[in-house]
Amino acid sequence: MKTEIVENGNQVIAKFSGRLDTAAAVQTAEDVKPLLEAENKEIVLDCTELEYISSSGLRIFLSIRKEATPHGSKVIVRNISADIRQVFMMTGFISLFTIE
């Protein structure tokens, strides 16, 4: 699992590559800490290369959203695969995030 964070003006983009499973969640949680401090930004979770997401990965996405809201930031999940969209739909996450 690889996580890359890029700032681009008013956006902070987190690009996820690989499998966000329980084994990768600890490191990924560390990698996304800069997102938790972003104020008045558009936080984009780019899932173009994300192959799989477990409940541990969903928890990370939820923690990003939970921290972003009081800081005036908006979280957008971008480019999820059909399989990950299905997970988002089954868990109700589809209604928690703006999906592009």
For residues 31 and 19, is the Cβ–Cβ distance under 8 A? no
pTM: 0.95
- 38, 98, 30, 34: which is closest to 68 by C-alpha? 38
pLDDT tens digits for range 38-97:
899 999 999 999 999 999 999 999 999 999 999 999 999 999 999 999 999 999 999 999
List of residues 6+ apart from 26 with CB closer than 8 A:
none
pLDDT at residue 37, as a whole number? 86
Provide the edge-to-edge strand list for the sheet that holds 42-53: 2-8, 11-20, 42-53, 74-78, 98-99
pLDDT at residue 40, as a whole number? 95
Range of the domain at 65: 2-99
* CATH assignment at residue 8: 3.30.750.24
- 71, 1, 2: which is closest to 35 by C-alpha? 71
pLDDT at residue 57, as a whole number? 97
Number of independent structural domains in the chain: 1
